[in-house]
């Protein structure tokens, strides 16, 4: 359980996916994860802390680069919530394959890569070299619930059981 | 042909890909689909109705949330046109694996997930639980031909023949 | 070496990935490529020329459609730098599977597909029909270092050795 021990040392906690899916503030309809052979597809995740959206807003406007970076770190934690739920823990994580990070950006903001490092660096501190995916960091115009960052990760995992995904399909609109 | 029967009940028709590819308003050069083993990659699709671009514009500006949602529904139909062409029908569709939905968004608009539900809910009404992919909904700044929504879907299919893709590479620029 | 001969005929040169990764202007932390079976995932790439960022800015604002198209062509060359490094040359490239092209766009710009043709057409001139992927062209709000275009490509390759990826993880922030 090295990955989870590292998280605790960093003072971070992976949120509970069950808890997360009991609410559905954005109203989106989707599932948490889906395996194709031993490649795990994941839904995009946004920053959450203590059961609430964390650091919403536009980076380079409402939020500084440093706050965007912190938001990306928490978006990564939400991804880990889905991974932990799917694989029964983080120790079956093999290399992260790909990550696209979207940064809700003010016009003229050009530091999207440094924002997304908040997610990338957390993955490296937890998984070491396995935590470094191919990636892109893209400035976007708006995200669900005014989130500042959303990341989409695809990763390889050690073969074995994968828990059926949780679905977010309550019509809370 | 349950999927296609459902579509007819909803009063919807899958456009003909052949017809669609005879014109190329955006001038884009690409192919409609590509299989890797039994995973079907698809090009991004935008809303079309009666042979024309449907509901173009910026959501949260030119268009309301409801109109964006309707646009997403038709972007999903255009994706189905490519799937139907590729697989010879919709009944070989296995789980949808991933969908990224881009919403051409006005500054300050934060309801991208509800817009993309227009596509997600159509897929569920046609394919049931198989129609729920992992996903992300991203606000963007502009899309080809001022489309309001573009979706990119990746899905599994029952093994068998896949028709060679149609290419859009006429230089209409 | 047909692909590389074609590039020379076009007066283009694939940049050296080694050289490229010695600097890290955007400060991003990631790896250049990652193979899953014979599918090569690549990081997003931006336009470079003579060792520098090329044609930065906002298309439809700072830059014209034609300049955006030229930028996309050079973003494609940077992708080829990673492919060449990974596969030891361009001749093991099998079909390009998917490309998402992001265009840093001014409000109201709607010609993203024609911009991304700059990348698509280069791939076709080098690889022929194999160079036509499924794709999407998306307008975005900002890219790292104010790049005007970023492309993400996934492609199949002839099985064989793949060089370990280069990592960009120097803390130059």
Under 8 Å between Cβ of B63 and B72: no
Query: Which A residues in the span 53-112 are in contact with C, Cβ-Cβ below 8 Å?
Result: 60, 95, 97-100, 103, 105-112
pLDDT more than 70, % of chain B: 97
B29:C117 CB<8 A: yes
Q: Which of B64-73, C6-15, C125-134 has the highest mean pLDDT?
A: B64-73
Chain A hits for B124, Cβ within 8 Å: 29, 169
Q: How many CB atoms lie within 10 A of CB C35?
A: 17
Q: Is A152 touching B (CB cutoff 8 A)?
A: yes
SS3 B90: coil
pLDDT at A170 (0 to 100):
52
> How many angstroms away from the CA of B9 is the closest CA of chain C?
31
Asked if B39 has any chain A CB less than 8 Å from its own CB, the reply is yes
Summarize pLDDT for C156-173 with one digit per residue, the tens.
Answer: 999 999 999 998 875 333
**Average pLDDT for chain A:** 93
* Whole-number pLDDT of residue A24: 73
Test C139 with B104 for CB contact under 8 angstroms: yes
Check CB contact under 8 Å for A144 and B113.
yes
| Mean pLDDT for the stretch of residues A65-89 | 97
Q: Nearest residue on chain B to A44, judged by CA atoms?
A: B136
Radius of gyration for chain C, computed over Cα atoms and rounded to the nearest angstrom: 15
With CA atoms as reference, the chain C residue closest to A108 would be C142
Q: What is the mean pLDDT of residues C98-108?
A: 98
- Please say whether the dihedral angle defined by the alpha carbons of residues C124, A97, A99 and B36, taken in this order, is positive or negative: positive
**Residue in A111, A124, A134 nearest the CB of C34:** A134
SS3 C155: strand
pLDDT digits (tens, 9 = 90+) for A148-170: 999 999 999 999 999 999 988 75
Residue A105: predicted pLDDT:
98
The tokens of B39 are what? 């995973």
Token pair of B22 as six digits: 């005879």
pLDDT (mean) for B105-121:
97
Q: What is the mean pLDDT of residues A119-125?
A: 95
ipTM greater than cut 0.90:
yes
Of A6-15, A19-28, A60-69, B155-164, the range with the lowest mean pLDDT is: A19-28
The whole-number pLDDT of residue B170 equals 52
Nearest to A114 among C43, C142, C173 (CB): C173
Listing DSSP states for B20-57 in one string gives HHH--TT---EESEEEETTEEEE--B--EETTEE-S-S
In A, which residues are within 8 Å of B109 by CB distance?
141-142
Q: Residue B131: what pLDDT? A: 94
Alpha-carbon distance A51 to nearest alpha carbon in chain B (angstroms)? 19
Give strand pairing partners of C167: C31
- Give the residue from chain A lying closest to C42, CA to CA: A134
Q: Which residues of B touch A28 (CB under 8 A)?
A: 113-114, 116-117, 120, 135, 137
Chains that touch C (3 or more CB pairs under 8 A): A, B
Look at residues B101, B108, B59 and name the one whose alpha carbon lies nearest to residue B78: B101
Of A105, A133, A135, the CB nearest to C141: A105
Q: Which of A139, B134, B34 is nearest to C96 (CA)?
A: B34
CA of B107, closest CA in chain C: separation in Å? 10
Q: Which parts of B33-158 fold into alpha helices (H)?
A: 65-87, 112-127
Q: Which residues in chain B are closer than 8 Å to A43, comparing Cβ atoms? A: 134-136
Q: What does the pLDDT average to over A25-44? A: 91
Answer whether residue C30 shows pLDDT above 50. yes
Q: Which of A151, A100, A103, B149 is nearest to C138 (CA)?
A: B149
pLDDT score at C38: 97
CA distance B142 to C117: 16
pLDDT at C9 over 60: yes
- The beta-carbon neighbor of B110 closest among A42, A44, A145 is A145
Position C173 scores a pLDDT of: 30
Whole-number Å distance between alpha carbons of A164 and A34? 8
Res. A1 pLDDT band, cuts 50 70 90: low
Contacts of residue B34, defined as CB under 8 A and 6 or more positions apart, other chains included, come to B40, B41, B165, C95, C97, C98, C133, C134
For residue B31, give the nearest of C108, C121, C132 by CB distance. C132
Token pair in block for residue B152: 């990119």
Contact of C48 with C21, CB cutoff 8 Å: no
DSSP β-bridge partners for residue C136:
C100
Average pLDDT, chain B: 93
Instruction: With CB atoms and an 8 Å threshold, state whether B113 touches A141.
Output: no
CB contacts, 8 Å: A110 with chain C? 142-147
- Predicted TM-score (pTM) of this structure: 0.96
| Residue B123 confidence (pLDDT) | 96
| pLDDT over 90 percentage in chain A | 80
Chains in contact with chain A (at least 3 beta-carbon pairs closer than 8 A): B, C
Name the residue facing B30 among C107, C135, C140 (closest C-beta). C135
Closest CA to B101 of B127, B140, B128: B140
Q: State the nearest Cα–Cα gap between C9 and chain A, in angstroms.
A: 31
Q: For B27-73, write each residue's pLDDT tens digit.
A: 778 899 999 999 999 999 999 999 899 999 999 999 999 999 999 99
Among B22, B17, B19, residue whose Cα is nearest residue B32: B17
Instruction: Output the pLDDT for position A20.
Output: 87
Stretch 107-136 of chain C: residues touching chain A, C-beta under 8 Å: none
Instruction: Reply yes or no on whether the pLDDT at A172 is more than 70.
Output: no
């Amino acid at each position: 359980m090295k990955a989870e021990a590292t998280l605790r040392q960093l003072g971070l906690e992976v949120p509970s996916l069950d808890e997360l899916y009991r609410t559905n503030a954005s109203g989106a309809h989707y599932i948490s994860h889906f395996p194709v052979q031993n490649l795990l597809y994941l839904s995009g995740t946004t920053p959450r802390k203590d059961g609430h959206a964390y650091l919403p807003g536009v980076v380079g406007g409402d939020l500084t680069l440093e706050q965007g970076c912190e938001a990306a770190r928490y978006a990564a934690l939400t991804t880990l919530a889905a991974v932990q739920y799917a694989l029964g823990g983080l120790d079956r994580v093999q290399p992260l394959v790909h990550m696209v990070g979207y940064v809700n950006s003010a016009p003229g903001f050009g530091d999207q890569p440094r924002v997304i490092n908040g997610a990338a660096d957390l993955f490296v501190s937890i998984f070491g070299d396995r935590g470094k995916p191919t990636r892109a960091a893209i400035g976007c115009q708006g995200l669900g619930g005014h989130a500042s960052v959303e990341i989409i990760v695809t990763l390889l995992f050690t073969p074995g059981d994968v828990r059926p995904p949780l679905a977010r399909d309550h019509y809370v609109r």
